[in-house]
Amino acid sequence: MLYIKCPHCGMRPQTEFSYGGDATVKRPELNKEISDHEWDDFVYNRKSLRGKHLELWQHISGCRQWIKVERDTATHEIFKTFKADEEVA
């Protein structure tokens, strides 16, 4: 079971969090002509990466904030966690 450092609360077990998917997906810009293909990519299509992956988690049984977690999907190593509004290089 993973041990995740919530930037607001500290180290907490995985059972307090719920997974929110890929954190790198960008919503298509507003006020712009958007193709069905772009919508499709935004809503459905995800890469199933092996290795370092930036993902969203919600600290649902804690502060209830959304956070970003940089995790290796193969080894479960967690490199760093960020607040949801933090820019990740």
Q: How far apart are CA 82 and CA 60, in angstroms?
A: 16
Among 46, 50, 76, 83, binds another protein (CB under 8 A): 76
Q: Which does 49 bind (CB under 5 to 8 A by kind): Zn ion, another protein, none?
A: none
Rounded CA gap, 1 and 13, in Å? 7
34/74 with CB nearer another protein? 74
Cα separation of 35 and 56, whole Å? 26
Nearest CB to another protein, comparing residues 2 and 56: 2
Taking contact as CB under 8 A, which single stretch among the options 1-9, 26-34, 49-57, 81-89 is the one that binds another protein? 1-9
